Structure formats: structure tokens, C-alpha cells
Amino acid sequence: MRVNDRGTWIDDGDASFEMNEPDAYALEEALRLKEQHGGEVVVCTAGPTRAAQVIKEGLARGADRGIHVQSEQMDSADAVTLGSSLADALKPEAFDLILTGLQSDDQGFGQVGVVLADQLDMSHATIIMEVVVNEGTLRVKRELEGGWFQWIEMSLPALLTIQSGINQLRYATLKGIMSAKKKPVNTIKKELLMSSQQRILELYVPEKEKTTQLISGDPIEAAAELVRVMREDVRVI
């Protein structure tokens, strides 16, 4: 990875783009829910022209149709802009359930799904590890800190942000890749009218540096000082 000339992002000219890992698990969970309960799986992404590849991948894995909110400015948009743009495209669809990845692989803020739920006025839950569908309700398992989990019950419609590892990913078959070419994709070209509420001022590679601190003196006092340094300065204990 190299920082671009402006120092605001990486130089992605030679980069290959792919679906975010958490989004791949969200798609797989949607496909499994369709197999169990019926319905339709629609894949949606917001991004520049190259993001159409994500739609094609989702269709090849089994989704029924796609929606591409297209803007060449979208690759530098913040979570509020992305969430609002997706909401405008998804609102007419009136989906019962929306699954998003927990966070993106590049910035990892974990905000787009929550913003999208707010814009669509839908109940939502984050960091989901299991989904159980009942008649008109959901029971979902949330991952908490320290190895704890939480089960909650939700009404539909709802939005869930899916954690990686919730299921076992499937891969596109040759038949799926061929059939994806015939599936409809609605491209919605969008001019971003709102300015980003956050922006990256500077991006740089951390400088490598090494310092050595010697602790000498009485063994008991030296041990006490070592513990203090580890607790207060290094913060490893």
C-alpha cells in the first residue's frame, strides 16, 4: 500500500477491488433465509462504476436482482452520505429485512448500516451472529464484549449488521456466473448534493522507532517501577 500524492488516501491505481468480508457473510445469510422461508434477495451497493463488479458477484452467488447507486464521488463519501444515498434507493422497495455487513474492510467505521436504518426509520441491531425468523418477528444473537452474547427479539421490518463468521460462505458456480448475466440490475445515477460531514486530513505510514529504557537500582524499587511503566506508560497490565 502506498499513500497518494495528496496524502489523503492510498494510491488505489493498482488495487483490485472485492466485496467486503462482512458483506459477503450478510449476503450468505440472506440466501439461507430465502432458502428457508422463501422471498427474494436483492443485492445493493453504492459506489463508482467499478462497484458493479460487487453486484455481479452477488448475483452469481444466488441473489435475484441488483441495485447500483452509482456516483464517481461515492468512493470518498462518509457514512452519512453513503447511508442516505442507499436509503433513497431502498425506500421505494419497502423491504421486510435488510442485512448489511458490520463494517467495511477499508475504513471499518461500522456506521453505514446504522445510518441506513435511521434514514429508513427501521428497528436495527448490530454485530449479529445468528438470525431466527418467526412469524413476523426475529430473534437475533448479538456479540458483546468479553465473550458475552445477547439474544433480543425484534419486529419486522428490521435492519441487521452481520458479523463475519456467522455462516459458511458459498462460492459462485459456473452456472451461477452464467445466469447472473441475465438477472436485472437497476442502476441509479446519483449526484451527491450533501457534503461529507467528516474527511481525512492526513494519511501516513507510521514511522518505525525504538527506545530502550533502563531501570536500575534496588531490586524491589526497580520491580515496582517496572510495574508502573507497564501499567501507566505501556498499558499492558
Over 90: is that where the pLDDT of 235 sits?
A: no
Peptide bond into 92 cis (omega under 30): no
Shortest CA distance to 211 belongs to which of 228, 237, 233, 227? 233
Shortest CA distance to 127 belongs to which of 82, 167, 160? 160
Would you place residue 77 in the very low, low, confident or very high pLDDT band (cuts 50, 70, 90)?
A: confident
165: left (phi over 0), alpha (psi -120 to 50) or beta: left
Over 80: is that where the pLDDT of 181 sits?
A: yes
Q: Residue 149 and residue 72: Cα distance in Å, rounded?
A: 40
Which DSSP symbol is given to 7?
S
State whether residue 186 is helix, strand or coil: strand
User: Once rounded to an integer, what is the mean pLDDT over residues 127-135?
Assistant: 93
**161 to 95, 111, 179: CA distances (angstroms):** 15, 10, 28
Neighbours of 214 (CB within 10 A): 5
Q: Residue 32 and residue 35: Cα distance in Å, rounded?
A: 5
Mean of the per-residue pLDDT values of the chain: 91
Least confident of 52-66, 91-105, 223-237: 223-237
pLDDT of residue 73: 81
**228 to 79, 146, 175, 215: CA distances (angstroms):** 40, 25, 62, 11
Domains of the chain in start order, with CATH, are 21-189 (3.40.50.620)
pLDDT of residue 106: 86
